[in-house]
Chains A and B, each alone.
Chain A
Amino acid sequence: MSDDFEDDLRHERIKTSTLDVALLRRMLAYAKPYRLRVLAGLGLVLLSASLAVMPPLLVGAMVDILFRTGESLPGNAVARVLAFFSGLDPAAVRAMSETRLLATFGGLFLGLRVGAFFVDWAGAYLLMGLGQRVLFDIRQQLFTHIHSLSLSFFHRNPVGRLVNRVAFDVGNMERMFSVGIVTLAKDALMLLSIMTLLLLIDLKLALIVMSVIPLLIVATVVFRRFSRTAYRRWYAAQSRLNAFMAETIAGVRVVQLFHREKHHEAVYDRAAGEFAKEFLAQRRAWAWYRPLAMTFSASGVGLVLWVCGDAVLRGSGLTPAGLAAAGAISVGVFVSYLQYAELFFQPIRDIAEKIDIVIGAMTSAERIFTIEDERPEVADLPGAKDHGRLRGEVRFDHVGFEYKPGEPVLRDLDLTIAPGQTVALVGHTGAGKTTIINLVNRLYDVTSGRVTVDGRDVREYQLQALRRHIAVVHQDVFLFAGTIRENLTLGDESIPRERVVAACRQVGADTFIEKRPGGYDGIVEGGGKTFSAGERQLLSFARALVFDPAILVLDEATSSIDTHSEELIQTALRTLTAGRTSIVIAHRLSTVQRADRIFVLHKGRLAESGTHRELLAQRGIYWKLYRLQYRDAA
């Protein structure tokens, strides 16, 4: 476990990447399985972009051809480009009557718009679909990965934080695909096509328009830096806020009982204030950037007005031959150019807007990848095998364990449990009993020494194979939403109903289950809060029996259960434990004394072991515990 558990708990640790290219590449890798769709989508986007750059050309042509402003320029550039795209012969176009020209231009405009409609629709749907598919993959992969991580990971990450990543961050990262790529691709392609057209029409003018691009790039780079930091802080603040709220809601009964509302509101206010502050910081960066980007792009348009206008004027009164020499242009070209200059900066402006979304998505991606990069501390080792059903022999061989480095909880522990034996662990609270259990089914790995089951180190088993044969009734009960039956089978459909009912009968849970509406198919509400604590414990007990384990572990499984019910369980257990190894932790010595062997733990060490009688005879810790419990009765 990490030595800065506390730090992790208070602050999220996010691996920030300095190299955007690497991050982007990793994000885009999610689209790989959908190559075809991406290509088709991009094809449509390209088509859509080329349709979108047509109107200025048409307007320019109209001005020159229909309004005859460019009559002095037979080889006018606009007409040339138009001819190139429409296949109409410039001379033929010029020969048309005014009415025919109007109809032709009208038809072209209409065709463009209608074409754009279908292309845009199909393209958007295709790429939004891509976004949704990718979203599913990211979310599923993250969820699977989180479940592959060790318990310690869950302990240092509040649940609210993890849910935030799975729900919010994944959704946000998806915007990279549905919004980011769609619009960015379209914008980029539009830019490219406009640049091509500008270059085709006039090289010098094209260079003038593009001269403001470096300024834009600088502004964007600076903005990106500020915005990334701001976004990171904003999302971190959001996650903190959410985790806090989730915890408060989970503990709302205690909040009310202890009149903690004010305190929680104060903490909430602090977190929410931070959230608002970081949000506004990010917005401020953007509010600076956008006007700047727009001013720069306007400078481009201004330059066109100035330089092109001058070029037009210079040409006035000259002969066609002289015109070309003077580098002059027609009014139509000027109009097209001006419109292009404006159109040129529209995608740039759009990118300025969408870059915000992309940076947000990248920030979320970092948060997701931080988890994805997390490796389980307890994982299948190479060569781990499924060794089939266990016999149930458990040995601790000089085991030492610490949750936090430097704070040993178990020291040099040696113990052996024979197959089929029932053993008891006793000791003061905090002695390390639960910890021992956690080592048997490898929720944690030992720090030193080894734990063996059936003579094999637990690390030689596949985790799943090991755990499938060990059922633990945990000290704190957890019930899932769903029916009672689903809670007992944990969703394993292959477990027959009879086995569930039998297990409940054995622990005496059948009476209260049958009394509830719906019986075994009744819904567990509010995390099981509508059961009494003892009832919950019985359910958890029944769950362990349903799985028919080779090793049954009871960690204070009857602590909230009255003596009478417990006695019933004890009787049942005697048959149930036959043929399996049982490890029982209990404080009530009446529960413990029937064990084949009792291990007494003291401060992480094995202090005594033996049968009840032997231990009483030793007159050690066990004897003292025993005396205390029955002191009053004696």
Chain B
Amino acid sequence: MVGRCRPYWRPYLMGAAALLIVDGLDASGPQIVRWAIDHLVRVTSGTGAAAGPDSPLAARLPAAWFGPDSFMHGMWVYGLAMVLLVAVTGFFRYFMSMGFAIGGITLSNDLRKQLFSHTQKLSATYHDRTKAGDLMTLATSDINALREFYWIGLWIGLDTLCYFLFVPAFMAGISAKLLLASLLTLPLIPFIVTRLAGRIEDRYGKMQAQLDAMSERARESFSGAKVVKSFAREEGEVKTFAKMGHEYRRRALRLCFVEALEQPLLVLMLALADLVIVGYGGVLVLRGLEIQRALAAQGAGAAEIEAAVQAAGALTVGGFVAFFSYLIRLSGPMVGLGWVVSIYLRGRVSMDRIEAVLHTKPDITDPAQPVAVTELRGELEFRNLTFSYPGRKPAETPAGDGATTPPAPVAALTGISLRVPAGKTVALVGAVGSGKSTLLNLIPRLYDPPAGTVFVDGHDVRDLPLGLLRTQVGTVPQETFLFSETILENIGVGNEGVGGGQSSGETSIPPASGGAEAWLRECAKLAHLDEDVTGFPKGYATMLGEKGVNLSGGQRQRVAIARAVARRPRILLLDDCLSAVDTHTEARLLGNLQSIMAGRTTLIVSHRLSSVERADEIIVLHDGRIAERGTHTELLALGGHYAGLWEKQQLEQEVEETS
């Protein structure tokens, strides 16, 4: 997990370097205290009053500063040193904080970007089966957990490590023996941490899973607000949510129980160290004091006394107090250690979840060796196409007759063979669920057809560059999805470079030039949208709500038509694109569409035979198979399903006309 930081070494290096300095300076703070105390003890014990400078700090400064007649006995030097030390540390602290913050945010941002780009690439098959809320949780709470790790986690982790190295080093300088004795408890720490960590990881994962479920539930519930309101189901929603909330609370409390234990337990480890310092350290000080007194009686200097105490392995009072100070300084990192472990574990859970998505290969991608074409003519062919949606199993056979062989997966399409010459129009009609939309979706590879079944210009669609294929196919999906942008953006985005003749689709500059906008307006006119839009106060700059909520159903559908037309597609797929449009608008739109469709290969699905009848060929689908095919007249002559529908409409009309 830490390996991911490598590309971001600059900010981390800055942070780590500053951290080394900060911790080093910070760990030397008690030294000043130690010197000051020893200075005092020596002076007050009546022995060293005249002994002159005695601490490493005082030794480097004029002796007069510390004399009996000096200003405040020179104690101000220690005080000032202390403040300066912290101020300088503070300077580096800034770089430490920022270094890790920059590293953490860039890393986590890039990771989220990766996730975002990747989910955009995953095919409809994946999204059919994945809850949008789950993906959102990854992008929000999991990324947040990782940001915490790559920012605070690494920072405090390194900090803890440094403290555990620096502080004992200073302590060893005071008394190596005491240090060894007092650190006897340390080996217990990894043991405790690992024992607790497993439990925390497990409980945290369970709590997080419940939070995901709740976010997803909230998302659903708010998205369906209109339904919830219309059916007065608010109470039900609230109850379900409360039930989930209770479960969340239960899991969270289980986590709290161990989490609350972790830090006090680690701090308790210091209790043993305390005991050692008090008992063993106390003995050492007493011995040190004896030596001090003995030597002082002989009139020895401060430096001499110091050396003698050191040599005897004994302790001064200052050293003793400093030891305690260091111990207090270790209790922070002790707590930090527990924290880092939790953050790390959370981060790891989150990373696993994110990587699971990142490692999902997009199943619809550019072919390894795409056919070298830059433009499509628009000839379409289906060769004996059979397609079933992945994961669709047939209904389970009732228990008891398990002996029968399981039936084959229900195919959405079976044995479809159809050729549409470039520029021709083919209409699809058929009952709900007969496979019309499925057939259309296979052409731009929203779902992938089996190899060797769907061809454009004689090339298997799976061999064509995906970008080219999709920019040259214009679809009006059966269900309109608009984005929360302006109307113009909704029509225009994705068409860049398409109108200009270069079909690279690589440029991502929004349509800014007047020429592009004029074309988009032209398309809106073709879709019979212009009249409505110009009626809005902000016209084409009108911002849409999510999914275009502030438009009427028909207006939305026409935006979608304009959007498809705007890319000057070679192949136009109209999936029931007039269902929400009134007959008046439909009639005028159909007129316009005729001119758009001229010269483009068009597949049109409609339940209104009036929109279908002029097609070059009409296909009647039934349960995923072609039931009837031919021109309008041929089908009428055939006297099948189509003729039946037609007759019904004729009849209805005649009855009304004569009345």
Contacts and interface: CB of A to CB of B under 8 A. Distances in A.
A160 B481 CA distance: 16
Contacts of A480: 220-221, 224, 227
A302 B83 contact: yes
Contacts of A317: 46, 49
B228 A310 contact: no
B146 interface: no
B211 A272 contact: no
How would you classify the secondary structure of chain B's contact residues: helix, strand, loop or mixed?
helix
A359 to B, nearest CB: 16
A535 B432 CA distance: 6
Interface in B138-155: 139-141, 144
B309 to A, nearest CB: 13
B313 interface: no
Given A148-B234, A291-B94, A305-B78, 10 more contacts: A55-B274, A124-B263, A136-B246, A143-B238, A147-B237, A167-B141, A257-B470, A259-B470, A471-B231, A563-B645
A630 to B, nearest CB: 5
Interface in A397-454: 403, 407, 426-431, 433-434, 441, 443
Interface in A454-473: 463-464, 467-468, 470-472
A538 B553 contact: no
A499 interface: no
A295 B86 contact: yes
Q: Specify which of A102, A105, A429, A434 lies most central, judged by the most chain B CB atoms within 10 Å of its CB.
A: A429
Contact of A98 (B116, B286, B328): B286
B607 to A, nearest CB: 5
A264 B120 contact: yes
A40 interface: no
Contacts of B553: 429, 434, 475-476, 556
How would you classify the secondary structure of chain A's contact residues: helix, strand, loop or mixed?
helix
A45 interface: no
Contacts of B81: 302
Contacts of B473: 257
Given A66-B286, A625-B583, A275 B433 contact: no
B429 interface: yes
Interface in A258-285: 258-266, 268-269, 272, 275-276, 279-280, 283-284
Contacts of A434: 552-553
Given A5-B545, A106-B279, A625-B584, A257 B475 contact: yes
Contacts of A144: 234, 238
Interface string A521-532: 000011101111
Given A113-B270, A156-B545, A69 B49 contact: no
A109 interface: yes
Contacts of B375: none
Contacts of A347: none
Contact of B555 (A135, A429, A530): A429
26 contacts: A67-B286, A98-B286, A113-B267, A113-B270, A116-B267, A139-B245, A143-B237, A151-B226, A155-B546, A249-B132, A251-B483, A254-B483, A256-B120, A269-B113, A291-B89, A306-B75, A334-B37, A342-B328, A514-B395, A515-B394, A518-B395, A532-B432, A593-B656, A616-B656, A626-B583, A628-B584
Nearest to B68: A313
Contacts of A166: 214-215, 218
Interface string B540-570: 0011011101111111011000010001000
A407 B98 contact: no
A332 B156 CA distance: 34
B398 to A, nearest CB: 11
A299 B83 contact: yes
Closest 4 CB pairs of A and B: A429-B554, A291-B90, A534-B432, A113-B271
A106 B392 CA distance: 72
Contacts of A259: 467, 470-471, 494, 505
Given A69-B317, A132-B253, A529 B128 contact: yes
A110 interface: yes
Interface stretch (B296-304, B416-424, B573-581): B573-581
A443 B163 CA distance: 62
B433 A167 contact: no
Contact of B585 (A132, A156, A242, A429): A429
A19 interface: no
B586 A163 contact: no
Contacts of A624: 584
A545 interface: no
B91 A291 contact: yes
A588 interface: yes
Contact of B508 (A154, A263, A335, A492): A263
A316 B44 contact: yes
B283 A102 contact: yes
Interface in B184-239: 211, 214-216, 218-238
B445 to A, nearest CB: 9
Contact of A114 (B215, B253, B268): B268
Contacts of A136: 245-246, 248-249
Given A249-B135, A468-B232, A625 B286 contact: no
B128 A515 contact: no
A390 interface: no
A151 B238 contact: no
Contacts of B43: 312-313, 316
Contact of A529 (B127, B215, B286, B394): B127
A128 interface: yes
A399 to B, nearest CB: 18
Contacts of A5: 543, 545, 550
B275 interface: yes
Interface stretch (B2-10, B99-107, B173-181, B513-521): B99-107
B256 A429 contact: no
